[in-house]
Amino acid sequence: MAIDKKTVAHIARLSRLAVGEDELAGYAEQLSEILAAAEQLAKLDTEGVEPTAHAIPVHNVFREDVVRDSMPKEKVLANGPDVAEGMFKVPRILEEE
């Protein structure tokens, strides 16, 4: 499956990655090469083969629902790039009316 520049731009947008116009061709070529190698999997008949998500079967893990200490707010906020009034600040999300 060959990936063109337009597809790279689309995947970059889906991935929330700003990718420069000048980088699109390089990524297109590399991703195409990797996906071309992955095409070999199509040769294998996997009809009826159960997919493996985890090599060690992991089942739902339960614990008692008990109240425990949580992390203090100042520790949670300490790494925030922009913090105000005990909250993470981000650029405006809603348009002005």
Does the CA dihedral 64-68-73-76 come out positive or negative? negative
> What torsion, rounded to 10 degrees, do the Cα atoms 35, 36, 41, 45 define?
120
CB-neighbour burial class of residue 3 (10 A; exposed 0-12, middle 13-18, buried 19+)? buried
Select the residue interacting with another protein from 6, 66, 69, 75 (CB under 8 A).
75
24 binds another protein (CB under 8 A): no
Could you tell me the smallest distance in angstroms from the CB atom of residue 86 to another protein? 13
71 binds another protein (CB under 8 A): yes
Q: Which residues bind another protein (CB under 8 A)?
A: 3, 7-8, 11-19, 27, 30-31, 33-35, 37-38, 40-42, 44, 46, 49-56, 58, 61, 63, 71, 75-76, 78-82, 88, 90-93
